[in-house]
Amino acid sequence: MHVLMTGGTGFVGRRLAERLAAAGHTLSVVSRDPEAAARVLPSATAIRSRVLDFRDAGVEAIVNLAGEPIADKRWSAAQKRRLVDSRVTITRELVTLCRSADTPPRVMVSGSAMGYYGAQGERVVDEDTPPHDEFAHRLCAEWEAAAREAESTGVRVALLRTGLVLDAGGGTLAKMLPPFRLGLGGRFGDGRQFMPWIHREDHVRSIEFLLARDDLDGPFNASAPHPVTNAEFTRTLAQRLHRPALLPVPGRLLELALGEMARLLLTGADMRPRRLLDAGFRFDYETLDAALAAILSRGKRRD
């Protein structure tokens, strides 16, 4: 299968590219810096700077993971617009490719995030749960709506509302491990907010699963079956590192430092992958303790 990817040099995209290439698929990637992308992607990958450069390439499937990191900068009005545009603009370009190709791709698996649901308190959340209206929800909703425009061309569209992606070498743990290894970790606020998470290997496998299953479309929660609260996450990570986690960060301090972006750390959703499980997908890492054990043991071997 010929797969076109955006976001192929990101934390998830690089691992997905490795697996797709190893499975014998033809891989094309859109990157703003093709030379840099070529250094981290499989050698046979075709890399171009624009989506429409692949209009006549016979693309059969699309994986859309592009988007500026949501937590790298304070959410000014201009930054909010950049966050939306970095996702929606390239997604609409992919829809244009679908409309202009002689034979449209069969499927698009397009990124979204747990932020679609907004703050949900302690409610159990599945794909049918009504969202709480706030910026993170509006960002994801606009992104998803742009992707679903491809359905008018006969493309099957699956949307992955992804939790925190965990693995060595990047993602959420890259920021958390240094202070926790020094014994300086702790919960955010009261720690009661949920942190849906997924091991990177399970996340990549879920994308492959949705590419292959012609009967699956619409939204899917990409998170492990057992989400945890922030307090449980920090406690489990500290135990795995054999360090204390006694330095909570007051919610008010986060709000002063980060403004509205602090909601990413102080609110959450008890998000469950109901539709993936109903479709027969099985997670290799169902619990946080098992995921962290595997990740940290691999990190030690690399050290």
Q: DSSP labels for 269-291?
A: -EE--HHHHHTT---S--SHHHH
The total of other beta-carbon atoms located within 10 Å of residue 49's CB is: 11
Distance separating alpha carbons of residues 204 and 167, to the nearest angstrom: 12
What is the longest distance spanned by two Cα atoms in the chain?
A: 60
Contact 230, 193 (CB under 8 A): yes
pLDDT mean over 179-194: 95
CA distances from 250 to 67, 68, 135, 189, 194 (A): 29, 27, 22, 5, 17
pLDDT mean over 216-239: 97
pLDDT at 300 over 70: no
The total of other beta-carbon atoms located within 10 Å of residue 241's CB is: 17
| Residues ≥6 apart with Cβ < 8 Å to 244 | 183, 238
pLDDT mean over 53-74: 94
- Give the CATH class of 2-302: alpha beta
Label residue 298 by pLDDT band (50, 70, 90).
Answer: confident
Entry pTM? 0.95
pLDDT tens readout for residues 88-116: 999 999 999 999 998 999 999 999 999 99
Burial of residue 132, with CB atoms counted within 10 A of its CB: 0-12 exposed, 13-18 middle, 19 or more buried: middle
Which residues face 259 on adjacent strands? none
Q: Output the pLDDT for position 303.
A: 47
Helix (H) or strand (E) holding 107: strand 107-113
CA distances from 274 to 169, 220, 224, 280 (A): 29, 8, 10, 10
Q: Output the pLDDT for position 27.
A: 98
Q: How many helices (H) and strands (E) does the chain have?
A: 11, 13
Q: 280-285: long-range contacts (C-beta < 8 A, 24 or more apart)?
A: 281/205, 281/206, 281/209, 283/198, 283/199, 283/202, 283/224, 283/225, 284/199, 284/201, 284/202, 284/205, 285/198, 285/199, 285/201, 285/202, 285/224
Contact 210, 160 (CB under 8 A): yes
Distance separating alpha carbons of residues 267 and 269, to the nearest angstrom: 7
Distance separating alpha carbons of residues 35 and 200, to the nearest angstrom: 25
Average pLDDT taken over every residue of the chain:
95
**Percent residues over pLDDT 70 in the chain:** 98
pLDDT mean over 267-276: 98
Q: Output the pLDDT for position 17.
A: 98
41: DSSP letter: S
pLDDT at 301 over 80: no
